[in-house]
Amino acid sequence: MSSQATNSSAALNEEQILELFTGSGALLNGHFKLTSGRHSDLYYEKFTILKNPAVCEPLCAQMGRMFTGQQVDVVVGPTLGGVIIAYEVAKALGTYSLYA
């Protein structure tokens, strides 16, 4: 699967999701100290995803699928890095999007 274009209406499996992250350069390998103080050898860089609509849209549509069958009135995201994600998930769910 190319990370350049994905049909956002099709469900993604774990392998396809991982390919979107790796193909876009959003999955980083190395040594990272997380804000929790813990350490990790993997880091998912959301800003790399946010700059590429062909990757962001299908990932957010997949997040929206997690709430299928539930009544979601609004999706709220934080101002820094969450506005686009909240918008795309809300679009997938057919509901409203806000930021805080």
Mean pLDDT value across residues 17-25: 96
Mean pLDDT value across residues 73-94: 95
User: What average pLDDT does the structure give for the chain?
Assistant: 90
* Residue 3 pLDDT > 50: no
Domains of the chain, residue spans: 14-99
pLDDT tens digits, one per residue of 26-74: 999 999 999 999 999 999 999 999 999 999 999 999 999 999 889 999 9
Q: Mind giving me the DSSP string for 18-82?
A: HHHHHHHT-EEEEEEE-TTS-EEEEEE-HHHHHT-HHHHHHHHHHHHHTTTTS---EEEE-HHHH
Q: Which amino acid is at 63?
A: M
* Residue 7 pLDDT > 60: no
Which residue from 42, 45, 47 is spatially nearest to 80, judged by alpha carbons? Answer: 47
Give 14-99's CATH code, choosing from 3.40.50.10740, 3.40.50.2020, 1.10.10.60, 1.10.760.10.
Answer: 3.40.50.2020
The CA dihedral of 46, 79, 65, 16, to the nearest 10 degrees, is: -10
51-63 exposure pattern, b = at least 16 Cβ within 10 A, e = fewer? ebeebbbbbbbbb
